[in-house]
Structure 1
Amino acid sequence: MTTTVIKEQNELFPVFLKLEHLAVLVVGGGNVGLEKLTALLQNSPRTTIRVVAIQFNEGVLQLAQDHHNISLVPKAFSPEDVTGADIVIVAVNDREASHAISLEAKRQGKLVNVADTPDLCDFYLSSVVRKGNLKIAISTNGKSPTMAKRLKETFNETLPEEIDQVLDNLQQIRNRLKGDFAAKVTQLNDITKVMATTPAKTKKTAKNSWGRQLAFGALIALVFTVLGMLLSSYVPVQLALEQAQDFALSIEPLFYWMILAGFAAQLVDGALGMGYGVTCTTILMSLGVNLPAISGSIHTAEVFSSGASGYSHYKYGNVNKKLFKVLLIPGVIGAFLGAYLLSVVGEEYGNYVRPILASYTLILGGRIIYAAFRKNKERKKIKKAGWLAGAGGFLDSFGGGGWGPLVTSTLISKGRTPRFVIGSVSITEFFVALASSLTFFVMLGLSHLHIILGLVLGGMIAAPIAVRLAGKLPVKTMFIAVGSLVIIWSLRILLKAIGVF
């Protein structure tokens, strides 16, 4: 006897409602009610909404003040509240009360959604991706809102802003087509079939090929860096062996502090996309390491730690390929020019650049924290991102830091998804740090090997841990963390410029 196994599948029927033609009742005025109200207004801002609750939090009160189509009814729920509503959304933190309200609404023939209680719902509120007139609703059949949220972030980052222009163009073409409905559909299918003709295998191969080429290029760069450092130092093999032996015998507690410093700095940088130089400098200065040793060691160690971090971000899907390509070449050129200029003219000129950069990033830090608490985050198109990367690379080399605070904070302040910004900026940072360290090495030589090895070891241990944090931290938390770090970095530079440190 053959047993037929029926595979579970999502049997929800997707629809897009014209809510402005319907009346919605929301029961609950706390944080859950605020979340539901925000979702309704983001997608259908003209919907007539009545909110029934004993108390309303400040967010709900502010929404009602800003939208005339929201009415607040300060009372406990009663069956007559359902009268006149087409849809009922229950947003109270009491399962028994939610069940009773749901039964009453269904008794009166209304469609019901109960927050975080799928078995009581007639429909779910989806995670929604919006690009102008294009709207994509994502459903996991009520199993994992977190997965829906991650997919939303991915689509928001992947779909170009120009997709709305494509829709406008297709509408114009549709209006010009001749014939009956079937003929128009056939012609539009012919026009748009190019969008769906790339085989999945080809896409996967291209993605894997890009990853292999990137990893291979990074490996070759590291090999040539190490070989260049050894060959260009003109140190005889015998002397090098003697120095290695002396180094092994002279390991002291400071080396382990270097490992801790590298671990802490990379944990911050990998999770937030900035802060490696700031964290390292702060720890090393507290340990009494002199400034020339700090500057040279951090730039050299950052090559290895950023390489490990960048690879981990790519492995976990945090890299936007298009953004990486835009940032790469300008960032490398800027880093080379900054390192070369600093080697020629001396560090004193960098002291004039850093306060200017710090003033700019201080403002950006405040904007990022403001964006964390703003309900509707407007996503703006990034213009001249290449120039931004070039400036970040130059200031990172010439001013002693600034790649992460400048590039990451600017992109996030424009509404970009922090996870993809951090991943893309981190993987680009490897090549920026490589260009900077190679230039410094050719111009100034290599020293302070024990500091570099400690920072590298600690950084490579922390890299995969930090990447997992970047993918899992809530967006609001990441905004606040990035903004706070930028402000701390900026204030530290400004206070140092006026002689406080």
Structure 2
Amino acid sequence: MSTTTLKEQNELFPVFLKLEHLTVLVVGGGYVGTEKLTALLQNSPRATIKVVAIQFSPEVLQLALENENISLVAKAFSPEDVAGSDLVIVGINDRQASREISLEAKRQGKLVNVADQPELCDFYLSSVVRKGNLKIAISTNGKSPTLAKRLKETFHDALPEELDQVLDNLQLIRNRLKGDFSAKVTQLNDITKVLATEPTAARKQPSGRFGKIAFLGLFALLFTTLGLVLSPYLSLQEVGNFATSIDPLFYWMIMAGFVAQLVDGALGMGYGVTCTTILMSLGVNLPAISGSIHTAEVFSSGASGYSHYKFGNVNKKLFKVLLIPGVIGAILGAMLLSWVGEEYAGYVRPVLATYTLILGARIVYNAFRKTKERKKIKKAGLLAGAGGFLDSFGGGGWGPLVTSTLISKGRTPRFVIGSVSITEFFVALASSLTFFALLGLGHLPIILGLIIGGVIAAPIAARLAGKLPLKTMFIAVGSLVIIWSLRILLKAVGIF
């Protein structure tokens, strides 16, 4: 006699409900109830929801104020509350009371979900990945919501932001196709076959117009390198002296460039402040610090931007929005600083630091709150222009201003950091060329040291930007913004 061992499997039937046509009863107004209510609103903001609880948390009260389709009933649960509801969700910490509410709802023929008690549930609230019209629900059969949450974060970062555009294009194609259902399916399968083949190679190889931009960027980098060597501001004797007698400070410059680019490439900001802090501690004078950092940043940001693109961290649409305004802002800032003098830039830094300090605190706060729907950035071009101007005129601010603002609006840190980093190359190039034309160039040992260290660190930092957990990146970016902002404010009042 043989025995067959059946492997346990998930037998749940996945369904997407149009909750705007249904009524949902949520029992519980505390932490668990807030979590359930938030999940409902994120996925179905037009659903009619009644919340019954003795007390309501401030978060539930705020959600009710912001959504007129939510009604709050301040009282203990009674069987009459179930009437008129299509679904019942129990979100209270009392297990026995949850069981009794579940039994009553089922007695009245309602489908029930009970927090942390899978055996009482008729359905589960899944972790959901959203990319515009694309929605992916993840279920672990009620065994581990934590794993479902981690998978959600992984898929959210892995799926490109452009997927919603792909869906729109496929809808247009489908509407134009002729033939019966079978013929349309066959044609669509042929069109979308590329999405399932060689995803890694396709993601890593620059192609099309964006690949040309990357190539032109590298060409500009090589052209700038040649211009640096042949610059009329440098003599052959100066280059020869540097090659034959390397000062130990040169190795410290390599270390400074490596650390600064590691921070900037992984977190999307911090190159200037990290370099400045290290160089000041080594006794380098301020004019040398300012000129050297702007020049070296062209090379390190070029290597960083290309590495981010290679590892799939760049949102092409965001890059295009940021590019032109950022470059224009950088040129204007460099020209104004060259004409009026650096002392006026000191008035701009405290204002920028106050703004970014608030953003930094908001980013850290977002790391500890539930995932919220991403807000659309309506004036990203204006933001890039301000960031480029302040980076040139104020001596820094592109990363802290642009990166922190975009992340604080709910944008995915990985794609924000990658897109801002590749744009930073063009911003730094425009700024540096303007400074070269108006002020000249010097401090070769410092510049070369920073360049070498930055180029070495760039691919490592780009890889870290794609691997760090979402919460860790929020905390790291927020903390760096706060430290940068406090340092500028303390310096402005003469304390630091």
* Counterpart residue type for residue 445 of structure 1: L
Distance 1:122 1:430, change over 3 A: farther
The equivalent of 1:16 in structure 2 is 17
What is the match of residue 4 of structure 1?
none
Q: Which of 248, 253, 259 is equivalent to 1:251?
A: 248
Q: What's the counterpart of residue 5 of structure 2?
A: none
Q: Which runs of 5+ in 1 are unaligned?
A: 1-7, 175-184, 187-193
| 1:431 and 2:415 correspond | no
- CA distance in 2: counterparts of 1:497 and 1:212, whole angstroms: 43
Cα deviations by residue, 1:320-364 (Å, 9 ceiling, x for unpaired): 101111222232233234334434543223234334433444454
User: Which one of 155, 158, 161 corresponds to residue 162 of structure 2?
Assistant: 158
Q: Match of 2:494, as an amino acid?
A: G
The question of 1:390 aligning with 2:394 is answered no
| Aligned pairs for 1:36-435 within 5 A | 36-42=36-42, 43-44=44-45, 46-49=47-50, 59=59, 69-71=71-73, 87=87, 89=89, 111=111, 113=113, 123-126=123-126, 127=128, 129=130, 135-142=133-140, 144-152=148-156, 157-158=161-162, 201=194, 208-210=205-207, 212-232=211-231, 235-236=235-236, 240-247=239-246, 250-251=247-248, 255-256=251-252, 258-362=253-357, 364-365=359-360, 368=363, 379-383=375-379, 385-435=380-430
Question: Is the partner of 1:69 in helix, strand or coil?
Answer: strand
Q: Give, in angstroms, the shift of residue 138 of structure 1.
A: 0.8
One-letter amino acid of the structure 2 residue matched with residue 335 of structure 1:
A
The verdict on how the C-alpha distance between 1:497 and 1:270 changes in structure 2, with shifts beyond 3 A counting, is same
Note the C-alpha offset of 1:277: 0.9
Give 1:178's aligned residue: none
Cα displacement (A) at 1:479: 4.7
Secondary structure of 1:288's aligned partner: coil
- Asked if 2 retains the 8 angstrom alpha-carbon contact of 1:129 and 1:155, the reply is no
Structure-2 separation of matches of 1:215 and 1:289: 34
Q: Which residue of 1 aligns with 2:182?
A: none
In the alignment, the residues of structure 2 paired with residue 382 and residue 92 of structure 1 have an alpha-carbon distance, to the nearest angstrom, of 39
For residue 492 of structure 1, report the CA deviation from its aligned partner. Answer: 3.2
Q: 1:496 to 1:145 in 2, by over 3 A?
A: closer
Q: Structure 1 residue 454: deviation in Å?
A: 4.5
Identify if the C-alpha distance between structure 1 residues 418 and 301 changes in structure 2 by more than 3 Å, giving closer, same or farther.
same
Q: One-letter code of the match for 2:217?
A: A
1:255–1:450 CA contact under 8 A, matched in 2: no
CA distance in 1, matches of 2:226, 2:139: 55
Match for residue 468 of structure 1 among 464, 489, 492: 464
Mapped partners of 1:147, 1:439: distance in 2: 47
Cα offset, 1:84, TM superposition = 8.8
* Aligned Cα root-mean-square deviation (Å): 5.2
Q: CA deviation at 1:397?
A: 1.5
The one-letter amino acid paired with 2:266 is: A
What is the identity, as a one-letter code, of the residue corresponding to 1:231?
L
Structure 2 residue identity aligned to 1:217: L
Q: Is the 8 A contact 1:298 1:452 kept in 2?
A: no
- 1:499 partner amino acid: G
Q: Percent identity?
A: 59
Unaligned stretches of 5+ in structure 2?
1-8, 141-146, 180-186
| TM-score (structure 2 length as normaliser) | 0.72
TM-score (structure 1 length as normaliser) = 0.71
- State the alpha-carbon separation in 1 of the partners of residues 309 and 118 from structure 2: 35
CA distance in 1 between counterparts of 2:490 and 2:189 reads 56
Letter of the 1:351 partner, please give it: G
Aligned residue pairs total: 472
Q: Distance in 2 between matches of 1:88 and 1:310?
A: 50
- After superposition, the Cα gap between the structure-2 partners of 1:63 and 1:432, relative to the gap in structure 1 and judged at 3 Å, is closer
Contact in 2 for aligned 1:262/1:454 (Cα 8 Å): yes
Asked if structure 2 preserves the Cα contact closer than 8 Å seen for 1:64 and 1:72, the reply is no
State the AA in 1 paired with 2:405. Answer: T
1:177 is matched with none
Say whether residues 1:34 and 2:31 are aligned partners: no
User: Could you list the per-position Cα deviations for residues 430-486 of structure 1 after superposition, in whole angstroms to 9, with x for gaps in the alignment?
Assistant: 1212222334345322314146415641563265346534654335x5455544443
What SS class does the counterpart of residue 297 from structure 2 fall into? Answer: helix
Kept in 1: contact 2:261–2:461 (CA 8 A): no
Single out whichever of 116-125 and 210-219 deviates more from structure 2. 116-125
